[in-house]
Amino acid sequence: MREAGASGGRWREQLAPLLGDPAASAVFCDLDGTLAPIVARPELVEVPDRARSALEGIASRFGLCAIVTGRRPQEAREIVGVAGIAYAGNHGFELLEPGASAAVPSPELAGREDAAAGYLADAVDRERMAAAGIRLEDKGPIVALHWRGAPDEGVAEQIALDIGEDARGCGLRTHAGRKVLELRPPVSVDKGVAIAGLLRRSGLRNAFFAGDDRTDVDGFRVLAEMRDAGELDAVVRVGVRSPEGPSEIVAEADLVVAGTEELADLLAVLAPPVEG
């Protein structure tokens, strides 16, 4: 892992394989905590103009540009505001192609689309959750329990973890993030699976992925596996450092930036220069 400084030259050294052959390269980015700062309520998130402009330039230059996010893909497209890129939403459970009007669910979901919502409807004390300040986010196949900003975040977290333990006993899968716990169908789909699928379909040989949270580590690991297996020639995994981020993000990244603003600076290096 290398800490990124303010030197564009240093970044260019790391990014040289992608900059040397952008048509054969893919750029993947997480959304919350990576492109955009984390906010108290997910619906209030905004992507800074610098990051959006960089993505637009990257989309025009690289073989593939995609947002890989826990949000639903249509929502992610509205937030990011760049139409000409792909959106792998719900951690890979849904894919919204550039220009498409509707997302396509993963075939692995067949018959399990409502498993998480059904569990919550039948087995959870909603009043207790609400009293603790836990907010439910219905993302279709995934339901997220948020406790950021709860009156007592520690109490709310423990209630959410208890629900998660019970959900696993009922056959669901869970995934913890930054003050959020997701209930998922029992399907082997994650950001790494989504990234690998997009790369194999495209045949591109180089890949960049930036992320900040535990779910992004799946993407980091699959890129390393594909490189080691000879499926990729070059990989750049960028960890976005934050006080709440897991240690794996820093430990497994090839390059670490200090936050979302520095990530926007890094993306600008990948974008084509603006003609004066």
Instruction: Report d(CA 259, CA 239) in Å as an integer.
Output: 9
Angle at 267 between CA 266 and CA 271, to 5 degrees: 125
Positions annotated as catalytic residues are 30
Query: Shortest CA distance to 233 belongs to which of 198, 202, 199, 207?
Result: 207
Query: Do 195 and 222 touch, CB atoms closer than 8 A?
Result: yes
Q: Are strands 86-89 and 94-96 parallel, antiparallel or unpaired?
A: antiparallel
- Identity of residue 56: E
Q: How many residues does the chain have?
A: 276
Instruction: Report d(CA 109, CA 118) in Å as an integer.
Output: 15
CB within 8 Å of 107: residues ≥ 6 apart: none
Query: Shortest CA distance to 70 belongs to which of 153, 183, 207?
Result: 183
CA end-to-end span of the chain: 36
Q: Which value, to the nearest 10 degrees, does the dihedral of the CA atoms of residues 48, 52, 54, 58 take?
A: 150
Tokens of 53: 């402009």
